[in-house]
Amino acid sequence: MKLRTILLLSFLGWKSLVVFGDNEIKSGEIWKDNTGVHINAHGGGVLFHNGRYYWFGEYKSEDTSAALRGVTCYVSDDLVNWTNQGIALAVTDEQGSDIERGCTIERPKVVYNSKTQKFVMWFHLELKGRGYAAARAAVAISDRVEGPYTYLRSGRVNAGQLPANMSREERERMDKLQPEAYKEWWTPTWTQAVKDGLFVKRDLEGGQMARDMTVFVDDDKHAYHIYSSEDNLTLHIAELTDDYTAHTGKYVRLMPAGHNEAPAIFKKDGTYWMITSGCTGWDPNEARMFSTKSIWGPWMQYANPCRGDNHRLTFGGQSTYILKVEGKPNAFIFMADIWRPKHPIDARYIWLPIDFEKDVPVITWREVWNPATYWK
Ligand code: DGJ
């Protein structure tokens, strides 16, 4: 908080904070950090640790979304004022390294493993110069929340493993599919084949594709990696090992051929809620919402949770994370990105409170709101 604000507040009383706005979130606007610079943490996620919030995200440059620096970290006590902690995971200049400067690092998420006492960062990685072909999940660890993180490895996911929610009949149907037979995409027979596991079969040996992603730690401390797989057509939910740094081999497919990206998830009163987007590159589209009582499904689709201006286009953004506000029951913040592909560093953030109508999440557009006073 600036000195001018502190003096004004001592004169007017702290309640005037609501009016004077240092504690307000203004979605879609420039959001300055402690140094006065627009926060550079896109496609991000937030970890609450030792009473503070840590926001990790993609560092974007003026004219490229490629990773020229790495994953950034900011810290806050109030979710509005953020202090830049610098680069948590740095790209390298080592030629041929997975995380060579110029690779693509997207949607980093950090979780804490209380058994190993390590911070574990997962992200979507694309190798330098190879567009989006690699479709890998990557992992890094650190002893300190703000880093530096040590890169461990990357790759496709769960090689040789069949989805846990594929019955014997479905397995037999998939076995009969011939990937080379579908020269033309987007036809009804091709869509049916994707639903039946065309790409699961294609990628069985080398591992499943993993692009847009999040990581979720459940109440029982089991962690899950949720990612767009099968050429972004189907989401996978995959269990992580006890130390959170690898996959166990157990996974399920969610909404086969549903074309979901940008998964964000939270749990309230024993029910999991997931908000996703469709696949339209950097352009916004209508949010989707799913719910289940068990992480393994079955998941049910609900209506678009967004309300108000531009609700059919997720207010111009794309989901990235759902943040649990600590110390307040049922307080969650929907986080999304308004991408600016021509000027990536200028991409904006949407942070909105989640309300519940008959226990179903609803996200209403608000130009300004205050997380300190929104929840009683
Ligand atoms: C949409 C994804 O959600 C983003 O993370 C990014 O991969 C863009 N597509 C690239 O077009």
Residue 17 lies inside a defined structural domain of this protein: no
With cut-offs at 50, 70 and 90, classify the pLDDT of residue 85. Answer: very high
**Smallest CA separation from ligand 1 atom 11, residue:** 281
Residue 149 lies inside a defined structural domain of this protein: yes
Residue 103 lies inside a defined structural domain of this protein: yes
Judge if the beta carbon of residue 58 lies within 6 A of ligand 1.
no
**Smallest CA separation from ligand 1 atom 10, residue:** 281
Residue 39 near residue 54 (C-beta atoms within 8 A): no
Judge if the beta carbon of residue 371 lies within 6 A of ligand 1.
no
Residue 171 lies inside a defined structural domain of this protein: no
Determine the pLDDT at residue 180.
Answer: 87
Residue 213 near residue 223 (C-beta atoms within 8 A): no
Structural domains in the chain (count):
1
Q: How far is the CA of 332 from the centre of ligand 1 (A)?
A: 24
**Domain with 151 in it: what CATH number?**
2.115.10.20
Judge if the beta carbon of residue 281 lies within 6 A of ligand 1.
yes
Measured from the Cβ of residue 95, the count of other Cβ atoms closer than 10 Å reads 8
Determine the pLDDT at residue 17.
Answer: 44
Determine the pLDDT at residue 10.
Answer: 52
Measured CA to CA, the distance from residue 156 to residue 140 in angstroms comes to 15
Q: What is the DSSP letter of 181?
A: G
Residue 21 lies inside a defined structural domain of this protein: no
> Is the pLDDT reported for residue 154 higher than 50?
yes
Distant-in-sequence, close-in-space partners of 66: CB < 8 Å, separation ≥ 6: 102, 103, 104, 128
Judge if the beta carbon of residue 88 lies within 6 A of ligand 1.
no
Distant-in-sequence, close-in-space partners of 241: CB < 8 Å, separation ≥ 6: 247, 248
pLDDT tens profile 185-231: 999 999 999 999 999 999 999 999 999 999 999 999 999 999 999 99
Distances, alpha carbon 150 to alpha carbons 22, 142, 244, 283, in Å: 35, 6, 15, 33
Distant-in-sequence, close-in-space partners of 306: CB < 8 Å, separation ≥ 6: 286, 287, 312, 314, 315, 363, 364, 365
Residue 211 burial by Cβ neighbours in a 10 Å radius (0-12, 13-18, 19+): buried
Residue 261 lies inside a defined structural domain of this protein: no
In order, the DSSP letters of 126-150 are E-TTSTT-S-EEEEEEESSTT-PPE
The residue length of the chain stands at 376
The position carrying tokens 């999940």 is: 137
Q: How far is the CA of 281 from the centre of ligand 1 (A)?
A: 5
Residue 373 lies inside a defined structural domain of this protein: no
Measured CA to CA, the distance from residue 353 to residue 363 in angstroms comes to 7
The sign of the dihedral angle between the CA atoms of 31, 228, 148, 245 is: positive
Listed in sequence order, the DSSP H helices in 112-247 are: 168-176, 188-195, 198-202
Full residue range of the structural domain in which residue 117 is found: 31-155
pTM of the model: 0.94
Measured CA to CA, the distance from residue 117 to residue 143 in angstroms comes to 7
Q: How far is the CA of 206 from the centre of ligand 1 (A)?
A: 23
pLDDT tens profile 5-62: 444 445 544 444 444 457 999 999 999 999 999 999 999 999 999 999 999 999 999 9
Q: What is the CA angle 351-357-358, rounded to 5?
A: 145
Residue 217 near residue 266 (C-beta atoms within 8 A): no
The position carrying tokens 């640790």 is: 49
Distances, alpha carbon 303 to alpha carbons 14, 182, 355, in Å: 40, 32, 15
Q: Hey, which of 106, 259, 335 would you mutate to test ligand 1's pocket, going by the most ligand atoms within 8 Å of its Cβ? A: 106
pLDDT tens profile 216-269: 999 999 999 999 999 999 999 999 999 999 999 999 999 999 999 999 999 999
Residue 101 lies inside a defined structural domain of this protein: yes
Q: Where are the beta strands (DSSP E) in 23-93?
A: 42-49, 52-58, 70-76, 83-90
Q: What is the CA angle 96-101-106, rounded to 5?
A: 105
> Is the pLDDT reported for residue 3 higher than 50?
no
The sign of the dihedral angle between the CA atoms of 149, 151, 152, 153 is: positive
Judge if the beta carbon of residue 154 lies within 6 A of ligand 1.
no
Residue 79's identity, in one-letter code, is: L
Question: Average pLDDT for residues 309-326, to the nearest whole number?
Answer: 98
